[in-house]
A = this chain, B = another copy of it.
Amino acid sequence: MTVSTVEKIDLFNQETESKIRADVILGNCLDVLKKMPDDSIDLIVTSPPYADQRKSTYGGIHPDKYAEWFLPITAELLRTLNPKGTFVLNIKEKAINGERHTYVMEMIIAMRKQGWLWTEEFIWHKKNCFPGKWPNRFRDSWERLLQFNKSKGFSMYQDEVRIPMGDWAKTRLKNLSETDKRRDNSKVGSGFGKNVSQWVGRELAYPTNVLTMATETSNKKHSAVFPKELPSWFIKLFTRPEDIVLDPFLGSGTTSVAAFQLDRNSIGIEIQEEYCQLAIDNINREKG
């Protein structure tokens, strides 16, 4: 694992380098991206700094200026992403002056004009969300996980994230009735039929587009970003081992650690030197 400067960005040569790499690049995200080759990244997972009215905070960008700031970056991400790759963007609009701001929606519409396909919106349901009470709203316990693609034929390995079937299956499949064994078409014209016998022996079901995960509260240094399970889930779903995962706002390195654990190469970009160092420490701890 190396810390590169902005000057020198050569991607992995997998013929001469068989080991999994986790590069951490210190620098401004947009500058670094501009030096990266086209179509080279298999998956982008990131949680950019949220919009904030307070300028003092880390990367604070005013909500009204957010799209203006972020769109040049997504343009570079579009260029560097492999045509079969995916971009997963974790974001949530702030409540400002009693209202949810619309910058996220404006960004989705603008990104489509850049050429992105807005394939899906997953929900990250945060089990242990930030406590608090306000007179006009409840606690915010979910964030958006926006999936963008460059083409309809993107890679997706659904079997890698299957989950155990519900208990109902055990009893349901014990005794198959005659109608179960052949195709039984719905009577009400919904066009929906069933062939239950196909389920026999199946232990796993596919998940939905709602992910329920707790936030990680343990890490004191970096202000609670996403839990490692989050990038892990998308890395398993959208890449294969030795693919290249990019996080342009690496922070404490969660994405790179998740990628390394799953035998994927990774590139992380981070503008703050202390976070860079923290990310490297976290990755090295994993390398053992």
Residues of A within 8 A of B (CB): 95, 97-100, 102, 105-106, 108-109, 112, 117-121, 123, 125, 127, 129, 133, 135-142, 152, 154, 156, 158, 163-167, 177-180, 182-186, 189, 206-210, 212, 214
Separation of A214 and B185 alpha carbons in the complex (Å): 9
| Residue pair B138, A158 in contact (C-beta under 8 Å) | yes
CB contacts (< 8 Å) of A117 on chain B: these are 98-99
Q: Which of B108, B139, B185 contacts A209 (CB 8 A)?
A: B139
| Residue pair B119, A100 in contact (C-beta under 8 Å) | yes
CB contacts (< 8 Å) of A154 on chain B: these are 136
| Residue pair B206, A179 in contact (C-beta under 8 Å) | no
CB contacts (< 8 Å) of A140 on chain B: these are 208-209
Separation of A154 and B164 alpha carbons in the complex (Å): 44
| Residue pair B212, A184 in contact (C-beta under 8 Å) | yes
| Residue pair A123, B125 in contact (C-beta under 8 Å) | yes
| Residue pair B166, A127 in contact (C-beta under 8 Å) | no
CB contacts (< 8 Å) of A184 on chain B: these are 212
Copies of this protein chain in the complex:
2
- Apart from A99-B119, A133-B206, A136-B152, list 7 A-B contacts with CB within 8 A: A99-B117, A105-B108, A123-B123, A127-B189, A135-B158, A164-B179, A166-B177
Shortest beta-carbon distance from A48 to chain B in Å: 19
Which of A136, A167, A184, A210 gathers most chain B CB within 10 Å?
Answer: A210
CB contacts (< 8 Å) of A98 on chain B: these are 117, 119, 152
CB contacts (< 8 Å) of A129 on chain B: these are 208
| Residue pair A121, B136 in contact (C-beta under 8 Å) | no
Shortest beta-carbon distance from A103 to chain B in Å: 11
| Residue pair B142, A118 in contact (C-beta under 8 Å) | no
CB contacts (< 8 Å) of A109 on chain B: these are 102, 105-106
Q: A138-B206, A139-B206 are in contact. Are A102 and B106 (CB under 8 A)?
A: no
Shortest beta-carbon distance from A195 to chain B in Å: 12
Q: Which of B97, B118, B123, B167 contacts A102 (CB 8 A)?
A: B118
| Residue pair A100, B121 in contact (C-beta under 8 Å) | yes
CB contacts (< 8 Å) of A142 on chain B: these are 123, 208-210
Which of A95, A120, A165 gathers most chain B CB within 10 Å?
Answer: A120
Separation of A89 and B130 alpha carbons in the complex (Å): 25
Separation of A261 and B112 alpha carbons in the complex (Å): 45
Closest B residue by C-beta to A237: B138
CB contacts (< 8 Å) of A209 on chain B: these are 137-142
| Residue pair B212, A141 in contact (C-beta under 8 Å) | no
